[in-house]
Amino acid sequence: MSILNILRYPDSRLHKIAKPVTVFDARIKTLVADMAETMYDAPGVGLAASQVDVHEQVIVIDTSETHSELRAYINPELIWVSPEMQVYEEGCLSVPGIYDGVERHAKVTVRAYDADGTQFELEAEGLLAVCIQHEMDHLKGKVFVEYLSPLKRNRIKTKMLKEERELNRHNKVAQR
């Protein structure tokens, strides 16, 4: 297993639309394992393959305190969403340090495949429902900051670009 590089907003690769997985093989199992290790290391509760520059419909989520409930969602689709909405304070591993309220469905039912290619359905509410919707957005090329006002989004974009420049400058100095 290895830690993968997480793309940072506003990287244009975060807006690529992921393709469905058609072959469930060792490569997919390795991808899921690497994504899980990357998510736990970050640390986070969810990660989409799009965030690690693999544009396939693969998500890993573990909302447990003990990191004991890891589940892969491959080719996920929402088959039911509640009419009730909720605002949840969201963050994102691709937008580190930024949190804001996003309105999403309070409950969802998702149909997906696990890493072995076995289909399952899962009803979710609370944090898990939010995570599923958030990560599925990544597969559609959407980052949570796109739900925010243009003013907030531009401030976040400016902040992220500034941090990237400072990091690159620091790395160049360290390489000398």
Say whether 170 counts as a known binding-site residue. Answer: no
Q: Which residues does residue 44 pair with via DSSP β-bridges, in sequence order?
A: none
> CA neighbours within 13 Å on the CB side: how many for 43?
7
- CA 139 – CA 135 distance, rounded (Å): 7
The one-letter code for the residue type at 92 is C
Q: Is there a catalytic annotation at residue 90?
A: no
Say whether 67 counts as a known binding-site residue. Answer: no
Q: Which of 56, 65, 135, 164 is catalytic?
A: 135
130 Cβ contact partners less than 8 Å away, ≥ 6 residues apart: 86, 88, 90, 102, 104
**Tokens at residue 67, please?**
């990191």
Annotated binding site for Fe cation: 92, 134, 138
The residues carrying an active-site annotation are 135
Annotated binding site: 92, 134, 138
